[in-house]
Amino acid sequence: MTQPDVLVVGGGIIGAAVARALALDGLTVSVLDSGREAGIATQASGGMLAPLAEAHEGDPLIGIGIRGRDLCRQLAPALAEETGVDIGLWQDGVLKVAFTEEEESQARGLVAWHRQQGLNSEWITAGELLHRCSGINPEARGALLAPEDGALEPLAFLEALLVSGARRGVRLARGERAVGIEIRDRRVSGIRTESQTFPAGAIVIAAGAWSGRLEGLPRPLSVEPVRGQMLAYPWPEGEPSAIAYTGRGYVLRRGNEAIAGSTMEYVGFDAAVTPDGRDRVARTAATVYPALAHAAIQRSWAGFRPGTPDGQPIVGADPEVPNLWYATGHGRNGILLASVTGEIIAHLVRGDPSDGLEIDLAPISPNRFWNF
């Protein structure tokens, strides 16, 4: 492989979005993707674009999340036209259903906070909720409705980004597992894989939950796997499509399936679906849609969110190695944040001033974990 301007480690949704964004800027880009790990997050994901429903009051990531969601809306038709891949964008809103007094009070508080920020969400009553989704548990007290939130199909989005990147010259080396980073004179010079060394002008670490395992990193990278278990049922017959969260999990329609998730477990790289995890997700699914209590589970799987200590991604330059970049730690929201992460990395690699982005990068800066 001839030396690319940038070598991206990891070909999940983040690596694919970053590589495409850099190639759009005219850089030569290669992606190394091992693809062999069990529990790759992009393959396991629900694919929700839910910056409002996922937020908590005062959430520093909400602006970046909304940008990510809105970029997906722009990208969906552009990618379909360019690549022929339909990313399955669903834009009819996300519900956060309240079953207890506490959940109702939290949801109403979140609606008030959204409105103070000029964002679009509303509280709908139990009657309005049942009118919208007749199969939802009638014990629900009402719901937060974020009408502009939605979802897409993560694997279709990944394929579209990879095809679009390839058309712009991105080279994907599948089956290549990066082992370590080579640093000379305080600059990265390449990546050592199991079979060879790939030279590179710059490197972006986008290896999801595995990012911190690379040898030779200038400092420890605080990314750890957070297991999420998922179940798929047949979508209840006659029930309108919806995405419904509760405090404990969610159910969303994808094709003819009801996808239910998910656990948040710190168990290392154990990608098993466990009886306990399955029970917990099944209970949540049946709480939201009682019909699912009697439905057969068609499939189950688990994946690793790349988690960080404060739950925010790590996006930006290494503080001391100027041609080493991080695009990792996207936790629960990597599908939502993929395109905006590509945009941020391309902007920073170009050397444009970060205020030109009109995004506050402090909450996602790699520097926040390291004292000098």
Ligand X SMILES: Cc1cc2nc3c(=O)[nH]c(=O)nc-3n(C[C@H](O)[C@H](O)[C@H](O)COP(=O)(O)OP(=O)(O)OC[C@H]3O[C@@H](n4cnc5c(N)ncnc54)[C@H](O)[C@@H]3O)c2cc1C
Q: Do 72 and 82 contact (CB within 8 A), yes or no?
A: no
> Closest separation between CB of residue 20 and ligand X, Å?
13
Q: Is residue 261 at the binding interface for ligand X, with CB under 6 A as the rule? A: yes
User: In the numeric block, which tokens belong to residue 210?
Assistant: 């595995």
Q: Regarding beta strands 94-98 and 243-245, do their DSSP bridges make them parallel or antiparallel, or are they unpaired?
A: parallel
Q: DSSP label at 90? A: B
Q: Are strands 29-33 and 6-9 parallel, antiparallel or unpaired?
A: parallel
Burial 93-121 (b: 16+ CB within 10 A, else e): bbbbbbbeeebbebbeebbebbeebebeb
Stretch that binds ligand X, among 92-100, 137-145, 328-336, 347-355 (CB under 6 A): 328-336
Interface characters, 166-195, with ligand X (x: CB under 6 A)? -----------xx-----------------
Q: Which two tokens stand for residue 169?
A: 């010259």
Quote the DSSP letter at residue 130: H
Question: At its nearest, how many Å lie between ligand X and the CB of residue 136?
Answer: 19
Are 302 and 228 in contact by the 8 Å Cβ rule? The answer is: yes
| The only residue of 4, 7, 20, 37 in contact with ligand X, by rule CB under 6 A | 37
- List the alpha helices (DSSP H) in the chain: 13-24, 41-44, 62-83, 101-116, 126-132, 154-167, 275-288, 334-350
330 binds ligand X per the rule CB under 6 A: yes
Residues 288-317 that bind ligand X (CB under 6 A): 303-306
- As measured in angstroms, the least distance from the Cβ of 243 to ligand X is 9
Told to check if 98 binds ligand X by CB under 6 A, we report: no
Binding span for ligand X by CB under 6 A among 12-20, 75-83, 115-123, 285-293: 12-20
Residues 262-281 that bind ligand X (CB under 6 A): 262
**For the window 216-245, what string marks contact with ligand X as x by the rule CB under 6 A?**
------------x-x---------------
User: Toward ligand X, which CB reaches closer, 11 or 236?
Assistant: 11
- Chain residues binding ligand X by CB under 6 A are 9-15, 32-35, 37, 40-42, 44-48, 177-178, 206-210, 228, 230, 261-262, 303-306, 328, 330-336
